[in-house]
Amino acid sequence: MLGCYVTGIFPRPKELIETTRAYDRRRVGKEALEKAFKEATVKVIEAQTSAGLSYVSDGMLKWQDLLRPFTENLGGVKIGALARWFNNNTFYRKPIVLGEILRKKDITVEIANMDCLPRNVPWKAVLPAPYTLAKLSENNFYKSETELLLKYAEILKEEIRSLAERNFKYVQLSDPALVYNPFKEPISKDILADVNNALETAVKGVTVRVCLQTFFGDFTQILPEALDFPVDDFGIDLYETSLEKLEEYTFDKSVALGLIDARSSLLEDEKELSAVAKELIESVYPSKTCDVFICPNCDLEFLPWERAKEKIRIIAKVAKNLENELS
């Protein structure tokens, strides 16, 4: 299969931004706010279905950041200060772990606008990967980061199972912390072994397709160890990854190629992207037996909504071009 999807949080349409600001200033009530979120969710979903994406999400419009729903809803965790979201001009609230982490309810399902999701296209959900959750938390309770990592993995396993029960078919585990490496220091094999163990815990016995989506860093720095991670797909930020090094490896798992730059408002040339993808696919998949997805290199939230819509159309066009060329 040659498919396409979007990798995370969408930008909020203008009307929703105006309503949330009005709500913060107490000019509109809760009912108007919820109506605005629902209308924006419908708009985001229509952009995906009209483009013909393979999996559709609700846009995660209520997620202030990737970690926030977990920071706000897990027992033993409190909301900390604002911290910079990697090398972007955006921020997240740091989770501070003060006691045993407890999952009291279905976090992702509760915040999702499931009634807006289409019945004729499979659904996708996005969760923080266990390593990114642990790495971006302040641990004041567990004896080690590894212990915290495995605890988060257990929590995520329950979340994934809950999503599967609600008919979600694809779960993306977003793991920017695993590859973000501004000082280019070698990643230890012990860390990669811990990540492998955590992922094994998170996906054991689940019935949905799972992708480990990396961004903000070079995927090749976690190779070859990552090739043994117990996931179905690998998401790769091709704007941060060395294509030359990537082509040195042969994959026996599927990939999601982050070909569209979600941190730039410039529109890509679909033919150029198709050529890059074709060369890469033929290099890492000599047998051409695995699935390939075309996607943004990271969340589209860094773009204005209208430009994000245009990028979604480019994603779909590149996937269609490749399907025609490789079939």
Rounded-to-integer distance, Cα 172 and Cα 128, Å? 8
* Main-chain phi, psi angles of 145, to 5 degrees: -65, -30
Q: Provide the pLDDT for residue 290.
A: 83
pLDDT, tens digit (0-9, with 9 covering 90-100), for 221-270? 999 999 999 999 999 999 999 999 999 999 999 999 999 999 999 999 99
pLDDT, tens digit (0-9, with 9 covering 90-100), for 192-213? 999 999 999 999 999 999 999 9
Residue-wise burial string across 99-136, b where 16 or more C-beta atoms lie within 10 A, e elsewhere: eebebeebbbeebbbeebbeeebbbbbbbbbbbbbbbb
pLDDT, tens digit (0-9, with 9 covering 90-100), for 134-191? 999 999 999 999 999 999 999 999 999 999 999 999 999 999 999 999 988 989 999 9
Is residue 272 pLDDT above 70, yes or no?
yes
Based on the number of CB atoms within 10 Å of its own CB, is 307 exposed (0-12), middle (13-18) or buried (19 or more)?
Answer: middle
Domain covering 2-13+49-326 in this structure, CATH number: 3.20.20.210
Average pLDDT over residues 274-293: 87
DSSP letters, 50-97, are HHT-SSB----TT-SSSSHHHHHHEEEEEEEEEEE-TTSS-EEEEEEE
Give the alpha-carbon dihedral of 307, 311, 313, 314, to 10 degrees.
140
pTM: 0.97
Residue type, 158: E
